[in-house]
Amino acid sequence: MIKDKPIKTEHFDISSKQNAAHDPNLNGEFPMTFPLEQGPRRVVIEHVRPEIDGGRFSIRRVVGETVVVSADIYADGHDLLSAELRYRHVGDLEWQTTPMTMVQNDQWRGEFVVHQLGRYEYSLESWVDHFKTWQRDLKKKDDAGQDLTVDLRVGGDLVEQAAKRAAGDDQKKLLSIVDELRRTPISDTAVPVALGPNLTRLMESHPDIRFATRFDKTLAVWVDRPKSLFSTWYERFPRSSSPRPGRHGTFRDMERLLPEIARLGFDVLYLPPIHPIGKTHRKGKNNSPAAGPGEPGSPWAIGSEEGGHTAIHPELGTLQDFVHLIRKAGEHGIEIAMDIAFQCSPDHPYVKAHPQWFRWRPDGTVQYAENPPKKYEDIIPLNFETDDWKALWEELKNVMLFWVNQGIRIFRVDNPHTKPFGFWQWAIGEIRQEHPDVIFLAEAFTRPKVMYDLAKVGFAQSYTYFTWRNSKHEFIEYLTELTQSEVREYFKPNFWPNTPDILPEHLQFGGRPAFLMRLVLAATLSSNYGIYGPAFELCLNVPRPGVEEYIDNEKYEIKHWDWDAPGNIKPVIARVNRIRHEHPALQTPWNLRFCDIENEQLLCYGKATTDRSDILLMAVNLDPFHTQSGWVKVPLAEWGIAPDQPFTVHDLLSDAKYIWQGEYNYIQLDPQKIPAHILRVHPRLKRETDFDSFM
Amino acid sequence: MIKDKPIKTEHFDISSKQNAAHDPNLNGEFPMTFPLEQGPRRVVIEHVRPEIDGGRFSIRRVVGETVVVSADIYADGHDLLSAELRYRHVGDLEWQTTPMTMVQNDQWRGEFVVHQLGRYEYSLESWVDHFKTWQRDLKKKDDAGQDLTVDLRVGGDLVEQAAKRAAGDDQKKLLSIVDELRRTPISDTAVPVALGPNLTRLMESHPDIRFATRFDKTLAVWVDRPKSLFSTWYERFPRSSSPRPGRHGTFRDMERLLPEIARLGFDVLYLPPIHPIGKTHRKGKNNSPAAGPGEPGSPWAIGSEEGGHTAIHPELGTLQDFVHLIRKAGEHGIEIAMDIAFQCSPDHPYVKAHPQWFRWRPDGTVQYAENPPKKYEDIIPLNFETDDWKALWEELKNVMLFWVNQGIRIFRVDNPHTKPFGFWQWAIGEIRQEHPDVIFLAEAFTRPKVMYDLAKVGFAQSYTYFTWRNSKHEFIEYLTELTQSEVREYFKPNFWPNTPDILPEHLQFGGRPAFLMRLVLAATLSSNYGIYGPAFELCLNVPRPGVEEYIDNEKYEIKHWDWDAPGNIKPVIARVNRIRHEHPALQTPWNLRFCDIENEQLLCYGKATTDRSDILLMAVNLDPFHTQSGWVKVPLAEWGIAPDQPFTVHDLLSDAKYIWQGEYNYIQLDPQKIPAHILRVHPRLKRETDFDSFM
């Protein structure tokens, strides 16, 4: 047999470990023939799903979710097979098993539920089931009236072998059946016993798996806490939280805002960086290259003589104040999400202490961030390829662990796609070992494959393209990709209608109706969503043709917000968030189903719990200027409603109630009132007096 | 870091090797984090195609074919990448490399041609290309009129490092460029040199691949000889080859038929089993359970006291006669394909010599073949699960090697799907090591995944569902699956309009036009096809409603054929086969393209060589009873023909010639004449006097 030659050329000796890292199959070569000693294993297990990139990456679930596993399983000939899905939490020694069943065309299916945080493993096993095959053939021969004497004795031998594998009661029962099957002349009860449920169950408990085929990989599930699937985010700059104009906001000021933030229904409060801000090349108002006296600069230009990524910007307060804020927020059911932006201002302590972590140019100047011809001189990128990268990576991991130890369990990571994937996979992996409850949100607005890879390497949530999706077709196409394709196995979207960097065109020109429309879309299409406030609830939308960034951007100046200014949409936000918390159907994105409606400006979609105890139908008018109407086709069958059975729909936004019947029902939405319905569907028609119970 | 626990339960210790066999990744577990030492490798290589079942199986090609490899390749940030496809024949020490190029959306592509029989390997490597990135940024800054002094010095350092990796002339050239780039003030030529093709080429020859990512698998291509992609089969029972009625045909008689078989254009002559036939429970005429005196029995009931699978049925001649037939056939350009049917008659020598290779029942009788309630008492299946299976498998492999040593290079394997896949993978693998030119055809009429798996484990050709595909929709759907999906990477179809077991309904009722139609379909849709003769060319079609098997089947009796009986279609067969041999466009199935025509009874498809030197358009009337016509839309652009440019089509079947123009052209086919066109397309209009040259 030809042997694979060793690789001789020097060039090729540098074999990558990057991918090999994911796969112990280091030389990655496959045998040319089938090793003889493996002969009698006749079953083939192929095309196991889910399996991300050949098993290199875990799929993701949250506690309580189900993992459905399918595979192509078959053998030569016409014998019947049995197959088993096996799984365990890595903490457990023993494997759980659950039978798989054939769906169609040699495709089998099984499922299990994950109950603990951390890593689960799953694999498959299948074998030729000679007993099941014997039962099938015995029945055929019996139906054909053939003499079964010998066949029953054949079965007796199979049962006797099972008895040897069994013990105690089962063994006794099996042995007594052996006698029954071997009796001559055949007893009247022999065939009924041979084909009966009792023997079938006994034989299933003691299968002959000597030649079982086990799938050659152990695949993994990473289980996060439910918050990573259902969360409601509010972004706010603490320095703008002062009740008095002019004064720099503090963590104490933020604490005073917590009750209102909680009343609005947010459970994650995301703060832009809270570290000392550099002075060299500090940016001024509206991103001007030089700050004037007293201008605060961008919080993302991290580091000054007052400290770096583990320090607190003095004007915000102390580390103690911050820990106090974390605890206070917790009392209001709010978690603080911290911003991780691995970049430095020219004044960052690292620059002096670890110059080797940066790129230096031949003229002795440091290489600042640039996107030629643009320059960002207030920020210096870290050089992840430095010869000293191990120390750098360790330091950055420790920065995150430092904040974990202060009580932080959610990180919003700034531009993770400009740091090596390997760094994140390693750092997140290490942190997750000790703290499986930590959630990382990736702020990566970049190419699709890069965004998806960040989820694969460990980010539990990700920003998305939602912000730039406008037409009905775009929403259906994108949400179908996110919720119905393989992507859903590892990528959890977090929808943001706005951010400090992004005031999208439709908000600039659509006004209040557009803000309401985007709010309902984000909050009901995705179970994770967030807004940058108070800019959002105040419908701040000074148009800047061709520019997405807010004018007079809070990134470069301190604001004093009148949070209750007229025209604010806080009441609607509060109601939408209350609806999300009261309705489990809105607490997962995987149950999304679009509904046909012949109007390009109306987007309709249903969401229901598997037990149908909570059924919602959303309708959104994508046109902020005109009333739109149409006939929506609702999935009556899925909802278990008969075509001739009237049912009630209750608009949880407006409180209006309608009685519908049949597949097609009329909808009309005036953006000047409210551009959306969130309809609770009540399969059975209630009496008017019952309506209160819908509230 | 949590360690994967060892598997404790006794049950699970029996880990399958069946799948593991394909994959050295024996424990199949994946690390939970990214190993730190692999840090600086920033490039990700994913979704490499082709890759069959994660690389467990080779893709297949024939000598001269191209392998196109694509992959998702990307890194963090915005640096430019370079990527390389590497490949080699396993016989070679050195790897060949060819650059890959980005197609779109981070998908890269490269290709190579295979020139030798046997196994090739391929893999990928990619790295962040700091020089290419520097060139891109330099150009942007130059366009923006920025000062480039420092940037050119940065480039000088990159070039200097490349010079260290280079030697001789290249090194000298690089060093001189370093001086140029470092000169101050900047020389007018510095930027042109920095961005010029000369430096670009030099830097490409000496890339910095210290942190290159190599795809972690080495994937394989098995290269067969061209015959496995383009072959024309003729099946005939040697015992029916006697010129005189009554007498048992011999190999010598077969030799006399060779010139005519060659004239008809066949290059593979497939003989049903030629071994001694059992006498116990021998089948009689029309499959009657008991043979009358002098009845020959089925050649598939192999083995008698005269010998088994390595013996010759005495009435056919001697081993020497068979070897002589093989040589004579070769002189006519014909290869003998041998039938491998691993089953035994009750009289087979194995039964006495190796009783442990069979299943014995409690009453001491042997387990014959059965499909309850049906019984096949003239055949005993081998028990591939016998405790003595190693000896059995070795013996069966040696049976095939015995015939290889007699000069056989093509095996048609009977019911391979009733023997373990592992057996075939092992046996074919072993035989291919010494004899990479041996071709195995799988006669497996069974479920799709099983048929495809047989191709994966080593069968170079396979029977297909063609025999039962009738409607236009069925043909387009099935052929698209076979020629345009991943299946084409490893599965080579062989189309048979009939076999001794199968006289399909459309031939039973469609008469001569149906035979001609199926001939043209098989011969032009697939580059491998075959017929069972003379039953086919004589249009033998005694209808048997509900039964597919021929009446008075040659399997159970000796025939005396009048090969030139009136109504035979030998002239058309000869012409079709000549066209196949003269037209490379028909010698591969991968170039198949269906053409629209608004008539459900007309199937139209084009085939062209990549260089367009040979362009054919086939049109087949699927209705054997009525003339059909329609306007076919031809792929003018693909053929490089302008819409206003008239072109000639020449029907290679009827010799008729037409002048066409534009996309839509008229076609009419009368099944009573000939139900098909095979049109040679001549992009340039020829003068009448040139028409001879088309012949």
Residues A637-695: tens digit of each pLDDT = 999 999 999 999 999 999 999 999 999 999 999 999 999 999 999 987 545 444 444 43
Compare all CA atoms of chain A with the CA of B2 and give the residue at the minimum distance. A433
Give the model's confidence band at A34: pLDDT under 50 very low, under 70 low, under 90 confident, else very high.
Answer: low
B18 to chain A, minimum CA–CA distance in Å? 6
Q: Which residue among B27, B373, B390 places its CB closest to the CB of A144?
A: B373
pLDDT classification of A605: cutoffs 50, 70, 90: very high
Chosen from A30, A47, A74, A222 to mutate, greatest number of chain B CBs within 10 A: A30
The residues of B annotated with a catalytic role in the active site are: 414, 443
Residue B226: asked if its preceding bond is cis (omega within 30°), the reply is no
The residue with tokens 């692999």 is: B38
Q: Flag whether pLDDT at B31 surpasses 90.
A: no
Q: Does B216 touch chain A (CB under 8 A)?
A: yes
Does B533 score more than 90 pLDDT? Answer: yes
Contact yes or no for B154 and A425 at CB 8 A: no
* pLDDT tens-digit map of A551-595: 999 999 999 999 999 999 999 999 999 999 999 999 999 999 999
Tell me which chain B residues have a C-beta less than 8 angstroms from the C-beta of A55.
Answer: 28, 30
pLDDT of residue B566: 96
| pLDDT tens per residue, range B59-94 | 999 999 999 999 999 999 999 999 999 999 998 999
* Token digits of residue B695: 């012949």
Closest residue, chain B, to A119 (C-alpha): B32
Chain A residues close to B53, C-beta within 8 Å: 46-47
- Model confidence at A615, pLDDT cuts 50, 70, 90, reads very high
CATH code for the domain defined by B131-205 = 1.20.58.80
* Distance (Å) from the alpha carbon of A112 to chain B's nearest alpha carbon: 19
CA A340/CA A581 separation, integer angstroms: 28
Does A2 contact B433 at a Cβ distance shorter than 8 Å? yes
CA–CA distance, B110 with B112 (Å, rounded to integer): 7
Provide the pLDDT for residue A295.
96
- State whether residue A201 is helix, strand or coil: helix
Are residues A27 and B1, on separate chains, in Cβ contact within 8 Å?
no
> Which three-class secondary structure state does DSSP give residue B132?
helix
Residue B688 pLDDT greater than 80, yes or no: no
- Segment B163-185, tens digit of pLDDT: 999 999 999 999 999 999 999 89
Sort out which chain A residues have CB atoms less than 8 A from B39's CB and list them: 384, 389-390, 393, 420, 422-423, 426
pLDDT for B11 beyond 50: no
Nearest alpha-carbon partner for B618 in B573, B647, B583 = B583
The residues facing B338 across adjacent strands are: B271, B411
Give B32's pLDDT tier (boundaries 50, 70, 90).
low
Judge: B72–A389 Cβ closer than 8 Å, yes or no.
no
- On chain B, the residues whose CB falls within 8 A of the CB of A415 are none
**Contact state of A363 with B153 under an 8 Å Cβ cutoff:** yes
CB contact under 8 A, B8 and A78: no
Smallest Cα distance from B38 to chain A, Å = 6
Residue B457 pLDDT greater than 50, yes or no:
yes
Q: What are phi and psi of A394, to 5 degrees?
A: -60, -45
Pick from B1, B8, B14, B19 the residue to mutate for testing the A interface (most A CBs within 10 Å).
B19
What's the whole-number mean pLDDT along residues B547-566?
Answer: 95
Q: Residues for chain B: how many in total?
A: 695
Q: CB within 8 A of B582, min separation 6: which ones?
A: none
pLDDT for A272: 98
| Chain B CB within 8 Å of residue A35 CB | yes
Instruction: Tell me whether residues A24 and B19 touch, CB distance under 8 A.
Output: no
- Touching check for A423 and chain B: CB below 8 Å? yes
pLDDT digit string (tens) for A149-163? 999 999 999 999 999
* Cα gap B470→B465, rounded to integer Å: 10
| Contact: A362, B46; criterion CB under 8 Å | no
Average pLDDT over residues B584-597: 98
Which positions ≥6 away from A547 have C-beta within 8 Å? none
Sequence ranges of the domains in chain B: 20-129+211-223, 131-205, 232-275+298-340+403-586, 593-693
Do A131-205 and A232-275+298-340+403-586 fold alike per CATH?
no
Burial class (CB in 10 A: 0-12, 13-18, 19+), B197: exposed
Average pLDDT over residues A243-251: 93
pLDDT over threshold 50, residue B12: no
Q: Residue A339 pairs with which residues in a beta bridge?
A: A412
Q: Which amino acid, residue A585?
A: A
As a whole number, mean pLDDT of residues A91-108 equals 95
Average pLDDT value for chain B: 92
Q: And the tokens for A505? A: 């065109």
A439/chain B closest Cα distance in angstroms: 16
> Cα separation of A308 and A345, whole Å?
9
Tell me which residues of chain A, numbers 176 to 215, contact chain B at a CB-CB cutoff of 8 Å: 209-215
CB contact at 8 A, B190 and B29: no
Predicted confidence at residue B687, as pLDDT, reads 52
Task: Report CA dihedral (B536, B538, B539, B545) to the nearest 10 degrees.
Answer: -90
Cβ A19–B213 below 8 Å, yes or no?
yes
B451-457 average pLDDT score:
97
- pLDDT of A375 reads 87
| pLDDT for the residue B26 | 30
Please state, in angstroms and rounded to a whole number, the distance separating the CA atoms of residues B672 and B8.
73
A445 touches B at CB < 8 Å:
no
Q: Check residue B4 and report its DSSP letter.
A: P
Q: Hey, which residues of A are catalytic here?
A: 414, 443
**For residue range B293-310, what is the model confidence (pLDDT) as tens digits?**
999 999 999 999 999 999
What does A57-99 look like in DSSP terms, one character per residue?
B-EEEETT-EEEEEEEEE-STT--EEEEEEEEETT-SSPEEEE
Question: Which one of 1.10.390.10, 2.60.120.10, 2.60.40.10, 3.40.50.2300 gives the CATH number of domain B20-129+211-223?
Answer: 2.60.40.10
Distance CA B134, CA B79 (A): 9
* CA end-to-end span of chain A: 76
B360 and chain A: CB distance < 8 Å anywhere? Answer: no
What CA–CA distance (Å, rounded) separates B194 from B199?
A: 7
The rounded distance, in Å, linking the Cα atoms of A367 and A441 is 28
Counting one residue from A and one from B, how many pairs have CB atoms under 8 Å apart?
376
What is the share, in percent, of chain A residues with pLDDT greater than 70? 93
Instruction: Using CB atoms, pick whichever of B143, B149, B216 lies closest to residue A16.
Output: B216
Closest CA to A344 of A306, A310, A309, A297: A309
Q: Which residues are B606's β-sheet partners?
A: B593, B617
pLDDT in tens, A179-213: 999 998 999 999 999 999 999 999 999 999 999 99
Residue A40's pLDDT band (cuts 50, 70, 90): confident
- B284 DSSP 8-state letter: B
Amino acid code (one letter) for B404: V
SS3 B329: helix
CA distances, A623 to each of A572, A671, B314, B554 (Å): 19, 7, 88, 75
Judged against a pLDDT cut of 70, whether residue B462 lies above it is answered with yes
* B244 pLDDT above the threshold of 70: yes
Query: Residue B105's closest chain A neighbor by CA?
Result: A447
- Identify the band that residue A5 occupies on the pLDDT scale cut at 50, 70 and 90: very low
CATH of domain A593-693: 2.60.40.1180
Q: Mean pLDDT throughout B265-281?
A: 97
Task: Please report the beta strands in B1-117, taking only residues with DSSP state E, as ranges in sequence order.
Answer: 44-49, 59-62, 66-74, 81-89, 96-104, 107-113
* pLDDT for the residue numbered B683: 86
B-chain CB neighbours of A453 within 8 Å are 44, 46, 74
pLDDT over 90 percentage in chain A:
89
User: ipTM of the predicted structure?
Assistant: 0.90
Amino acid at B629: S
Distance CA B622, CA B644 (A): 31
CA of B527, closest CA in chain A: separation in Å? 27
Q: List A102's β-bridge partners, or say none.
A: A108
Report residue B322 as tokens.
């068979």
How many beta carbons lie within 10 A of that of residue B555, not counting itself? 19
Q: What is the pLDDT of residue A31?
A: 52
Over residues A488-545, the pLDDT tens digits come to 999 999 999 999 999 999 999 999 999 999 999 999 999 999 999 999 999 999 999 8
Give the distance from residue A432's alpha carbon to the nearest chain B alpha carbon, in angstroms: 9
Best probe of the B interface among A33, A183, A205, A388, by most B CBs < 10 A, is A33
In the numeric block, which tokens belong to residue A149?
A: 């004497």
Instruction: Report pLDDT for B692.
Output: 47
Q: Which of A370, A384, A429 sits opposite B32 (nearest CB)?
A: A429
**Per-residue model confidence (pLDDT) at position B375:** 87
Give the minimum alpha-carbon distance from A212 to chain B in angstroms, rounded to a whole number.
6
In whole angstroms, give the CA distance from residue B325 to residue B362: 46
Listed residue (B178, B201, B180, B175) closest to B190, CA to CA: B180
pLDDT digits (tens, 9 = 90+) for B402-425: 999 999 999 999 999 999 999 999
DSSP3 helix / strand / coil % (chain A, rounded to 5):
35, 25, 45
* Sign of the four-CA dihedral B190, B194, B195, B199: positive
- Could you please state the CATH topology (level 3) that the domain comprising B232-275+298-340+403-586 is classified under: TIM Barrel (3.20.20)
Q: Is A636 helix (H, G, I), strand (E, B) or coil?
A: helix
Mean pLDDT over the full length of chain A:
92
By the CB < 8 Å criterion, does B547 face chain A?
no
B505 touches chain A (CB under 8 A): no
Say which residues have a Cβ less than 8 Å from residue A689's Cβ, sequence separation at least 6.
none
A616: its two tokens = 């919602």
Tell me what pLDDT residue A91 has: 85
Tell me the pLDDT tens digit for each residue of A651-666. 999 999 999 999 999 9
CB pair distance less than 8 Å for B40 and A384: yes
Q: Can you give the pLDDT at residue A691?
A: 46
CB atoms within 10 A of CB A389: 19
Count of alpha carbons within 13 Å of A84, Cβ hemisphere only?
20
Per-residue model confidence (pLDDT) at position B3: 36
- Residue by residue, DSSP assigns A608-621 as E-TTSSSEEEEEEE
Residue A147: CB atoms within 10 A of its CB come to: 9
Tokens (6 digits) for A334: 């709010």
- Residue A15 to residue B209: CA distance in whole angstroms: 10
pLDDT category at A141 given cuts 50, 70, 90 is: very high
